[in-house]
Structure formats: structure tokens, C-alpha cells
Chain A
């Protein structure tokens, strides 16, 4: 395999892995449920995007045809990640989960729970 293809693929793999790691780190170290949600919804999308880009380049080069079903995975990820985050945040809110003390506008959760205007 040519050197520059190896280089591009490895850069994508490393960058993707770093972002997925940071996302998981956020899930582990942030203080409360709502802040923890941010790690996996954001850092992970770019991480997965990079890993899948590496897969597109590698498979296309090795097999000799354009491999695009990774695009479909990216698309499904982009559609499902925000929906999952929304459902989790909503459930947490309705279960009265503990909120970090320094969170501003904490009173809003009560209004949000009853789905009325602030």
C-alpha cells in the first residue's frame, strides 16, 4: 500500500479514536446527568465520522471499488444521536433527577416538566 494512503488512514483513525475517548471521558468524569449527556452526543459524532472516513478510504483503495455504506452509518448516527439525547434529557427531567447545584435557571425544569411556557 502506498505510504500517503496509510498516512491519511492512520491520521483519521487516531483523530477519531481521540474524540471517542474524550466523549467517553466526559461520560465518566462530568458531575451530573445533564452535563454527562454532552460528551457522548457531540465528541462521539466527530470521532465516529473520522473512523468511518478511514474505513471508506481503506476499503475503496484495497477493494478497488467505491465503498459508501459507511455514509449510511454516519447518516443514521446523525439522526439518532440527538433523538437519544433528547429522550434521555426528557426522562431525567421527568424523573426529577438531581441537578448540579450551580446550574442556573434550575426552576425552568419545573415549567418544562409540566410542558408550560416559562
Chain B
């Protein structure tokens, strides 16, 4: 049995806002013509694509989200310096490793964000995820202490994500 789909003008309000801003940034203007065109696209594209959407937990805590983004940007800058030093230094000293990180968070969107953050920040690249989405396999460029790395990722990145998505 299917329920009759109800019509919403804005089925995905967040996406509409992002599309509108992205359109204006792409054209680098706030001219009235582009405001109208951007608004049209911001309404039309979600209407056409909302049926394909896979429900994901939303961002429940806006302030925690902003804090997380700023922290990640800062960590990216630090990680860049660290990786630069490792690249310039002698390759013999590197101790690469594979590490499996146990995941507490569920759902695809939070795990994707965690995996991307891990790839961008502390000398690690996410490589694979287990079938049941309980383990994240990462490759580390220079491993010093496995427990420390797992604790760092869980404490610094996973815990705020868990709070943001409430999962």
C-alpha cells in the first residue's frame, strides 16, 4: 500500500539554500537576473530530485557544526605541514601502516564525513569500510602509536560528529 505523496514546494530546504548560494558564487554576482534564475533553479532542482533522496540524519546542532568545520580547517593546515615535513624527509624513516578504526556512529552521511575528515587531516587516508559499517580501514603515512591514533580520531572527530548528528 502506498500513501499519496504530499506536495511540498521546498522538499529539501537546506539543498535549496546551498544551490542558490552556489549559483550566485559560480556567477560571482548579485545581479537581479541571476537572483531570479538562481531562485528558480533552487526550487526546480530539489523538486525534480527529491524522489531519489535517501533519508539521512540532519545537522541537529548548528553551533557544533560550525565549530567542527573550523576545527577541521585548522587541522588541515597543521596536517599539511606535517605531511610536507614527512615528504621532504628521508623516505627510509617512514613507518607506513594499515589501521582498523572501530566506528560508533551509524548512517552513511556521518560516516562519509568522518572518512573524508580522516583523509584530509592527520596523515591518514581512508581506504575501505567493513560491510556492516562498524570498522573503517585507513592507511597511515607514518604511524607512531596505533592506540593513540585511534583515540585521537575517535575523540577529536567522531565524538563531535556523534553530537551533531545525534546518532
State the Cβ distance, B49 to closest chain A Cβ, in Å.
18
Q: Which residues of B contact A62 (CB under 8 A)?
A: none
Say yes or no: B98 contacts A108, CB within 8 Å. Answer: yes
Instruction: Count contacts on B: residues with CB < 8 A to the other chain.
Output: 43
CB distance from A117 to the nearest CB of B (A): 5
Q: Identify which of A67, A89, A104 contacts B125 (C-beta below 8 A).
A: A89
- Please list 29 pairs of residues, one from A and one from B, whose beta carbons are closer than 8 Å in the complex, sorted by A's number: A31-B94, A34-B96, A35-B94, A35-B139, A35-B141, A38-B87, A38-B125, A38-B141, A39-B83, A42-B76, A46-B80, A69-B28, A82-B126, A86-B116, A86-B125, A90-B127, A92-B127, A104-B96, A104-B98, A108-B99, A109-B98, A109-B137, A111-B137, A112-B100, A115-B128, A115-B129, A115-B131, A117-B135, A118-B135
Known contacts A68-B25, A113-B128, A115-B128: A86-B115 contact under CB 8 Å: yes
Q: Is A95 an interface residue (CB 8 A)?
A: no
Task: Show the binding face of B for A, using Cβ within 8 Å.
Answer: 22, 25-28, 76-77, 79-80, 83-84, 86-88, 91, 94-100, 115-120, 123, 125-132, 134-135, 137, 139, 141, 143
**Taking A22-B87, A86-B126 as contacts, is the C-beta distance between A108 and B76 under 8 angstroms?**
no
Kindly list chain A residues whose C-beta atoms are within 8 Å of the C-beta of B86. 38
A22 near B88: Cβ-Cβ < 8 Å: yes
Among B22, B27, B115, B120, point to the contact of A41 (Cβ < 8 A): B120
